[in-house]
Structure 1
Amino acid sequence: MSEMKADDLNIESIETLMTPLQLKEQMPLEGKALESVQNARQSIFNILDRKDPRLFVVVGPCSIHDPKAAMDYAHRLKELAAKVDDTLCLVMRVYFEKPRTSVGWKGLINDPFMDDTFQIEEGLKIGRQLLLDIVSLGLPASTEALDPISPQYLQDLIAWSAIGARTTESQTHREMSSGLSSAVGFKNGTDGGLTVAVNAMQSVSSPHRFLGINKEGQVSVVRTKGNPYAHVVLRGGSSGPNYDSVHVAKAEQALEKGGVNQNIMIDCSHANSNKDPQIQSLVLKDVTNQILEGNQSIIGLMLESNINFGNQKIPKNLDDLKYGVSVTDACIDWAETERSILEMADKLRDVLPKRVAD
């Protein structure tokens, strides 16, 4: 009689990765880089606590595929951040993991060489080194917390985390977020509804117990304290954009009814721009005007921006990739990014200090 199997019937292979501790020992966060992360997190906490009158702006590529171009962008953003630091706290988008509706490139960690070799350990090394290089500039970094394992490898370098529209409703991601060391933004559902985000904020502030891994890579029971710095991110949905003053007011009411804080972040891209990058600047202007007219709840924004405009498909010959152009969602270019952020800072410089709670 042939040997019968009951498990791993659809598993081709299992590869053991280096542990989070081993990666961190190879690429430690220390000195000025550690201080940079700590200061950035505290700045965002203070903004959410209304102790700091600034807005924080998460800005950068939709996804990272070229570390060289990412550092080029980081140097530009660091220079811009110094010009607006009295009004805006700029945080670079450093997104390594991309959720896909069906199939497609899942990001630098999953497939760092963009050739379907899926060298995940190399992806983790490349990603951690890039984050170290960015925070060593004194520039805060953000990412989307998608895989529940990867935070053990990278979260110590992150100042702000996002939970995407597809995963806000996920219990796994709510539990994980309750233990993240950074503030975390929950996007509204893909339909534009707020209920899942409000439920997520209620959940994430509470302690949780769940299966995960420790720094030695061992499967463990993770016990969290709860994350007090969760907030909602309005990104629009199938029902249309939701960044305007009417939708913001409705969001304030929903958050108040849910008994959670009324901190609101506006994603200028995705459904709020109908995935047309040129509209992002118009959304930014609308949000600026809302604050000028007295809005108290908007505490941050998100822009998808790259060195060059638009996006591109991944070519068979990677030498044909255009420099500084997104391979996922289309982005505004650097010139428009700089102009929009400088204009916003100029308009809000004298207004934001008046919003700080006594």
Structure 2
Amino acid sequence: MSPFSSDDAKSWLPSPQELKNCYPLSKDLKAFIEKSRQEIKNILLERDHRLILIVGPCSIHDLEACREYASYLKDLIEEVSDQFFILMRVYFEKPRTLTGWKGFVTDPHLDGSYDIAKGLQLTRQFLWELASQKIPIATELLEIMTTPYVDDLLSWGCIGARTCTSPLHRQMAAGLPFPVGFKNSTDGNITNAINGVIVASAPHAFMGVDEKGMLKRISVPGNPNCHLILRGGKFESNYDLASIQKALIELSAAGQSRRLIVDCSHDNCGKIYERQMPIFYSLIDLIQKGHREIKGMMLESHLFEGNQTLSHPSQLRYGVSVTDPCLDWERTQRMIHQAYKQLQNTLPKQSCLVYAPHSRTHQGQQSDRPKCGAASERSLLSQ
């Protein structure tokens, strides 16, 4: 029986290899993703003087709105590419402290139907579209079983505050071919994240699932490009200079490279999305003063500001987050442009290859994505 044509579509899932065959990487696409990964590594290793910016919605729930956002971000990427290396934040899974919507992969219809097969298919399709437009992709690596479906499309990954102590996530990060950031715990503890960086840098062997969906022993070499992310804690933020210096001291004491990324959202802004702006500007000021251990920042941004309660899809406002509140696109763009001007006389100019614009999938335009086989397409896309 085909994994795409079960009577119970909610239970039977395609293997990672089957979905990768539906949305394969061309030679050009592989080259772009590898180049993006290498540029991030070069920034972390101080071979590239640009800053990493990870910008995008808190979570993905409406692909059309995210396609529109991506089209605007694509233009911005090209405008500021000599100072910033921008990735789109594409979070298709959401960790929950208690309960709630678990993200697009798990519940793509936003109705509790948990059509994971459709969620996996649509997620890979969307990531394929973004990468084909030469937009580097960043995401949180939450569900270990999901990662093999999308790992070849990612340029950067994150282990979140609720999973930074997980041995399984640390082992997974050790085998990934792209840089991975570890966020400090929700209580503000940075030691847990630094320990995650240490563990993920070492080789491991463990039981896992291969791309065919079969259990096997997996051996990984360790990931030398892991790093710390400061995202604030329940009781205090950690984006200020004193907190950053404290983190750098702890990294040095642990024998790790003095480098980190700062998340301007979450507990650093106290979930008050407008505070991301002064936090971002304060970090730009620190970088301008010579604190180059700050390798980049993260921002939560959508087409329109704020957030909304998750309800029936027909009742949702277009381009507004259904999870954490976000900055609107206009302010995001203005903020990055201002920072770009501020840093023009601070950061050395970076000569970098800018890819020509690619055909976009955007409100009414057709995607040039490859097609699955007829049976696979019908099963994956039909309700």
* Alignment TM class, shorter chain as reference: over 0.9
Per-residue Cα deviation, 1:135-157 (whole angstroms, up to 9, x for no partner): 11111001100011111100100
SS in 1 for 2:52: strand
CA distance in 2, matches of 1:346, 1:354: 12
Q: Report how many residues are paired.
A: 342
CA distance in 1, matches of 2:268, 2:29: 34
Per-residue Cα deviation, 1:296-343 (whole angstroms, up to 9, x for no partner): 20001100000000001111x321110110000000000110011111
CA distance in 2, matches of 1:310, 1:31: 40
**Matched AA of 1:145:** L
1:167-178 to 2 correspondences below 5 Å: 167-178=163-174
Q: 1:221 — aligned with what?
A: 217
Per-residue Cα deviation, 1:66-122 (whole angstroms, up to 9, x for no partner): 111111011100101111000000000000010011111000000011111111111
1:336 maps to 2:351:
no
Give how far 1:352 is off.
2.1
Give how far 1:354 is off.
9.2
Give how far 1:39 is off.
1.3
- Greater relative contact order (Cα 8 A, min sep 6): structure 1 or 2? 2
CA distance in 1, matches of 2:117, 2:157: 22
CA distance in 1, matches of 2:345, 2:154: 30
1:135-214 to 2 correspondences below 5 Å: 135-214=131-210
Segments of 5+ residues of structure 1 without an aligned counterpart are 1-12
1:53 maps to 2:18:
no
Per-residue Cα deviation, 1:230-289 (whole angstroms, up to 9, x for no partner): 000000001211001111110110000010111110000001101101000100010011
Q: Is the 8 Å Cα contact of residues 10 and 116 (structure 2) preserved in structure 1?
A: no
Per-residue Cα deviation, 1:186-209 (whole angstroms, up to 9, x for no partner): 001111111101111110000011
Q: 1:62 — aligned with what?
A: 58
CA distance in 2, matches of 1:19, 1:296: 43
Q: 2:247 — aligned with what?
A: 251
> TM-score under structure 1 normalisation?
0.93
Q: Is the 8 Å Cα contact of residues 207 and 224 (structure 1) preserved in structure 2?
A: yes
CA distance in 1, matches of 2:349, 2:236: 32
Q: Is the 8 Å Cα contact of residues 265 and 301 (structure 1) preserved in structure 2?
A: yes
Q: 2:230 — aligned with what?
A: 234
Q: 1:70 to 1:354 in 2, by over 3 A?
A: closer
**Matched AA of 1:339:** R
**Matched AA of 2:171:** E
Q: Is the 8 Å Cα contact of residues 55 and 301 (structure 2) preserved in structure 1?
A: yes
> TM-score under structure 2 normalisation?
0.87
CA distance in 2, matches of 1:179, 1:51: 23
CA distance in 2, matches of 1:267, 1:321: 27
**Matched AA of 2:169:** H
Give how far 1:221 is off.
1.4
SS in 1 for 2:348: helix
Q: 2:79 — aligned with what?
A: 83
**Matched AA of 1:198:** I
Moved over 6 A (4+): none
> What is the identity percentage for the equivalent residue pairs of Structure 1 and Structure 2?
42
